């Protein structure tokens, strides 16, 4: 009997030991999950669908996958695509259903995804898409999405203000940054103003004023495309607030040089108004941003002097010698000259310089790859993001991944979590926080030498996120001025008359909670251009970066 009990005890211990070992074997970190998803993605891109499926099918068996809500959705969707390419239609549909069950809702992507082409006529596929479209109609439908007319109806105007107000009230994440703003009181104040507007243009400019109260670069309205001719005319110069004066920084029409219009010339008056009073009267009421430097950039660089195409703008200027003169500038549909999103050149002492002006399109990665072999031959690199207004996170993180050989951490973010039942119970609204995720590096393309970043107030959105990731990985110095301080994921929605609204839904921060929204990513070495720099063609910030690399890095 004792022998039997002893044997039973040994078996029980062995079973528990085996289960413990199994649990240890099954335990995966955030990095493990990310690495496996990344590996499956590479197999998918290379057409090795069976290898991708093997990884993803094993992932969905992981007991703790439930806590990886975002990853779980993408795993099931990727499984659907891989199985679809192998014509495993039933399994593909099951995985697609699971992806939708766990939160996937982009029916337009499902309908355009070539991987799912062979399932379009299947009843299960049709039901998935039909259900998603029905759910979406709660938010977007033809009742509010009415076409443009010169003066839309009063009911449409009130409906548009109501929709804008409600989307901001329920989705805006930064109310703590504008504590004196009450969206309900604003709504009531703007209702009679909306009724008084005499045109769709006047109405939309009023909606712009409404949004300015929230001081956010990702919250606002886009006017109907039919009104572009009334608002998007640009003069053939670029302006900026430098040393607290409105300065011409670029001239796109060489003939203007004959009239005295050159970089470094100060604008003192516009259409008879003092240059700053003109901004306060005609620009500031309609344009805003999260930080002071961001607002100045938006007002004095982006929106300044814009207006109806074909209309002349009368400016009074002052040159370096203090002489005043007047010039009339036409507002044009487009500015002459080509815009190149990625520019590379090599500087002295084998320092590379790359100017990346956008993260919006896949061509950015293609153009970056095209010069990467030249970058690899340098002894140090300067990345210029001073004119980068942001774009797609996938593109920005891909490029940042070239500068490390390890998975790297990025910002954390939070969003509001509205639950109607909690209001009924008298509870506070929750904030959902996504902890910092890991991005993958490409060890085959790794630049290990010294790198510095150049930034200023125009560095915004995804470009700021790039700077945050750069700081977190402690990859090098940031030189220049603070970034715009405006990042986040905007929710877009239609408005009556053909326009659209947007409201920021996420608030990003450093992993330790340090804020950069409203203040910007701060440079390690602060440098600002002077008026004289534009007159002489000097780039003071770039010079500082070169000086730093020559003094502090062994080239």
HEC string for 428-458: CCEEEEECCCEECCCCCCCCCCCEEEEECCC
For residues 236 and 229, what is the distance between their CA atoms, to the nearest angstrom?
16
Which of the listed residues 103, 136, 169 is the one where a domain comes to its end? Answer: 136
Please state, for a pLDDT cut of 90, what percent of the chain lies above it.
82
Clarify whether residues 178 and 121 are in a common domain.
no
Question: pTM here?
Answer: 0.87
Q: Look at residue 69 in the predicted model and tell me its pLDDT.
A: 86
**Is residue 151 classed exposed, middle or buried when 0-12, 13-18 and 19+ CB atoms within 10 A define those classes?**
middle
CATH of the domain at 517: 3.90.226.10
| Residue 236 belongs to a domain | yes
Mean pLDDT of 406-410: 87
For residues 129 and 111, what is the distance between their CA atoms, to the nearest angstrom?
8
Which of the listed residues 309, 330, 351 is the one where a domain comes to its end? Answer: 330
Instruction: Give CA torsion, residues 191, 195, 197, 201, to 10 deg.
Output: 70
Residues of the domain holding 115: 2-136
The 3-state secondary structure of 72-97 reads HHHHHHHHHHHHHHCCCHHHHHHHHH
CATH of the domain at 276: 2.30.42.10
| Residue 274 belongs to a domain | yes
| Residue 91 belongs to a domain | yes
Q: Look at residue 555 in the predicted model and tell me its pLDDT.
A: 52
Q: Look at residue 407 in the predicted model and tell me its pLDDT.
A: 86
Q: Look at residue 34 in the predicted model and tell me its pLDDT.
A: 81
- For the stretch 446-495, pLDDT in tens is 999 999 999 999 999 999 999 999 999 999 999 999 999 999 999 999 99
Clarify whether residues 360 and 482 are in a common domain.
yes
| Residue 143 belongs to a domain | no
Query: What is the per-residue DSSP string for 360-417?
Result: SSTHHHHHHHHHHHHHHTSSEEEEE-TT---B-HHHHHHHHGGG-SS-EE--EEEEEE
| Residue 148 belongs to a domain | no
- For the stretch 505-540, pLDDT in tens is 999 999 999 999 999 999 999 999 999 999 999 999
Q: Look at residue 12 in the predicted model and tell me its pLDDT.
A: 38
Clarify whether residues 131 and 250 are in a common domain.
no
**Is residue 144 classed exposed, middle or buried when 0-12, 13-18 and 19+ CB atoms within 10 A define those classes?**
middle
Q: Look at residue 17 in the predicted model and tell me its pLDDT.
A: 42
pLDDT at 20 over 90: no
**Bridge partners for 439 per DSSP:** 408
| Residue 146 belongs to a domain | no
- Backbone phi, then psi, for 275, in 5-degree steps? -55, -40
pLDDT tier at 107, thresholds 50, 70, 90: very high
Which of the listed residues 77, 107, 136 is the one where a domain comes to its end? Answer: 136
CATH of the domain at 103: 1.25.40.10
Residues 428-449 as b or e (16 or more Cβ within 10 Å = b): eeeeeeeebbbbbbeeebebeb
Helix axes 69-85, 89-101, angle to 10 degrees: 160
Q: Is there a contact between 502 and 494 (Cβ–Cβ < 8 Å)?
A: no
Q: Look at residue 427 in the predicted model and tell me its pLDDT.
A: 94
Mean pLDDT of 412-438: 91
Residue 377, token pair as written in the block: 């031959």
Clarify whether residues 325 and 350 are in a common domain.
no
Long-range CB contacts (< 8 A, 24+ apart) of 321-327? 324/268, 325/259, 325/260, 327/256, 327/259, 327/260, 327/261
| Residue 464 belongs to a domain | yes
Clarify whether residues 130 and 243 are in a common domain.
no
Closest CA to 336 of 429, 453, 252: 252
- For the stretch 227-275, pLDDT in tens is 999 999 999 999 999 999 999 999 999 999 999 999 999 999 999 999 9
> How many domains, in total, are found in the chain?
4
Clarify whether residues 261 and 161 are in a common domain.
no
Q: Look at residue 403 in the predicted model and tell me its pLDDT.
A: 95
| Residue 149 belongs to a domain | no
**Bridge partners for 313 per DSSP:** 329
Q: Look at residue 138 in the predicted model and tell me its pLDDT.
A: 86
pLDDT tier at 339, thresholds 50, 70, 90: confident
Mean pLDDT of 107-124: 94
- For the stretch 370-393, pLDDT in tens is 999 999 999 999 999 999 999 999
For residues 30 and 13, what is the distance between their CA atoms, to the nearest angstrom?
31
Query: What is the per-residue DSSP string for 295-309?
Result: HHHIIIIIITT-BST
Clarify whether residues 358 and 460 are in a common domain.
yes
For residues 382 and 375, what is the distance between their CA atoms, to the nearest angstrom?
10
Clarify whether residues 409 and 507 are in a common domain.
yes
Clarify whether residues 382 and 516 are in a common domain.
yes
For residues 248 and 313, what is the distance between their CA atoms, to the nearest angstrom?
14
H or E element in which residue 64 lies: none
Q: Is there a contact between 331 and 307 (Cβ–Cβ < 8 Å)?
A: yes
Phi and psi based region of residue 9 (left: phi greater than 0; alpha: psi -120 to 50; beta: remaining): alpha
Closest CA to 486 of 220, 284, 209, 216: 216
For residues 521 and 390, what is the distance between their CA atoms, to the nearest angstrom?
14
pLDDT at 554 over 90: no
Side-chain-side CA neighbours of 355 within 13 Å: the count stands at 11
Work out the angle at residue 359's Cα, subtended by the Cα atoms of residues 355 and 361, and round it to the nearest 5 degrees: 115
pLDDT at 29 over 90: no
Closest CA to 301 of 262, 256, 247, 252: 247
Closest CA to 79 of 107, 106, 115: 115
Clarify whether residues 312 and 354 are in a common domain.
no
For residues 408 and 537, what is the distance between their CA atoms, to the nearest angstrom?
38
Residue 441, token pair as written in the block: 């590096």
Clarify whether residues 254 and 395 are in a common domain.
no
Q: Look at residue 35 in the predicted model and tell me its pLDDT.
A: 83
Clarify whether residues 356 and 396 are in a common domain.
yes
Q: What is the DSSP letter of 148?
A: P
């Amino acid at each position: 009997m004792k022998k039997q009990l002893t044997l039973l005890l040994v078996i029980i211990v062995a079973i528990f030991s085996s289960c413990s070992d199994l649990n240890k074997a099954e335990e995966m970190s955030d990095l493990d999950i990310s690495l496996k998803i990344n590996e499956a993605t590479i197999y998918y891109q290379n057409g090795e669908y069976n290898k991708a499926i093997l990884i993803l099918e094993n992932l969905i068996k992981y007991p703790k996958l439930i806590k990886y809500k975002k990853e779980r959705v993408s795993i099931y969707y990727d499984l659907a695509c891989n199985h679809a390419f192998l014509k495993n239609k039933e399994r593909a549909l099951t995985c697609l259903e699971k992806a939708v069950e766990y939160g996937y809702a982009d029916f337009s992507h499902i309908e355009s995804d070539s991987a799912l082409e062979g399932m379009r006529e299947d009843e299960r596929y049709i039901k998935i898409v039909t259900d998603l479209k029905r759910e979406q109609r709660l938010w977007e439908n033809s009742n509010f999405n009415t076409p443009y007319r010169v003066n839309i109806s009063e009911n449409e105007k009130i409906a548009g203000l109501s929709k804008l107000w409600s989307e901001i009230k329920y989705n805006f994440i930064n109310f703590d940054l504008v504590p004196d703003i009450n969206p309900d009181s604003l709504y009531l104040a703007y209702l009679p103003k909306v009724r008084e507007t005499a045109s769709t243009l006047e109405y939309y400019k009023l909606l712009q004023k409404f949004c300015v109260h929230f001081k956010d670069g990702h919250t606002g309205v886009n006017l109907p495309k039919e009104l572009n001719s009334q608002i998007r005319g640009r003069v053939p110069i670029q302006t900026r607030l430098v040393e607290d004066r409105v300065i011409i920084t670029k001239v796109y029409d060489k003939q203007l040089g004959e009239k005295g219009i050159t970089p470094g010339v100060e604008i003192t008056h516009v259409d008879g108004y003092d240059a700053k009073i003109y901004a306060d009267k005609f620009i500031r009421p309609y344009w805003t941003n999260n930080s002071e430097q961001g607002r100045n950039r938006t007002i004095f660089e982006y929106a300044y002097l814009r207006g109806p195409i074909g209309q002349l703008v009368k400016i009074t200027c002052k040159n370096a010698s203090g002489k005043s003169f007047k010039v009339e500038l036409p507002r044009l549909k487009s500015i002459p000259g080509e815009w190149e999103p990625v520019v590379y050149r090599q500087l002295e002492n084998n320092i590379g310089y790359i100017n990346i002006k956008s993260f919006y399109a896949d061509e950015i990665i293609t153009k970056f790859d095209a010069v990467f072999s030249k970058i690899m031959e340098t002894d140090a690199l300067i990345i210029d993001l001073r004119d980068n207004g942001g774009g797609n996170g996938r593109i920005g993180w891909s490029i940042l991944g070239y500068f490390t050989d390890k998975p790297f951490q990025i910002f954390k973010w939070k969003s509001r979590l509205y639950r109607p039942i909690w209001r009924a119970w008298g509870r506070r609204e929750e904030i959902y926080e996504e902890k910092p995720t890991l991005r993958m590096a490409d060890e085959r393309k790794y630049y290990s030498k010294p790198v510095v970043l150049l930034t200023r107030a125009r560095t915004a959105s995804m470009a700021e996120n790039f700077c945050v990731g750069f700081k977190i990985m402690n990859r090098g110095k940031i030189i220049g001025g603070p970034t715009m301080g405006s990042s986040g994921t905007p929710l877009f929605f239609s408005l009556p008359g053909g326009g659209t609204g947007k409201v920021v839904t996420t608030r990003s921060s450093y992993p330790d909670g340090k804020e950069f929204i409203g203040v910007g990513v701060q440079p390690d070495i602060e440098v600002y251009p002077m008026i004289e720099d534009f007159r002489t063609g000097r780039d003071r910030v770039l010079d500082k970066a070169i000086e730093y690399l020559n003094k502090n890095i062994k080239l």
